[in-house]
Amino acid sequence: MCDCIKNIEDKTIETLRKHNEGVFEKASGLLCVHFHIVKNKFLDRGTYNDYEFSFTPIKKDGTHGKPKKKTIAIAHTYCPFCGEKHKTD
């Protein structure tokens, strides 16, 4: 398991502290981070991208419904920063 996410979060906080005066109490961390849990066992932290799409559903009578917008998450199987494969079992 790589430490890319933690390293990037630490460097980001360090940079923000240098450029912003005051007390830095809490950071939200990287967005789009998820946890790999397989068979009730924590394996790794990973990253993902949100993919937003629109579609127009077709009703039972064949007419078009209102356009809908949805967002799904696509998990990365490799670290996008160093290329290390995420654990899967």
When comparing pLDDT for 63 and 41, which is higher?
A: 63
Mean pLDDT, the chain, integer: 77
When comparing pLDDT for 40 and 8, which is higher?
A: 8
Residue-level pLDDT at 63: 92
User: Mean of the pLDDT values across residues 34-44?
Assistant: 66
Query: Two tokens at 55?
Result: 């579609």
Share of the chain above pLDDT 70, in %: 69
Residue-level pLDDT at 51: 82
Domain residue spans of the chain: 1-19+32-89
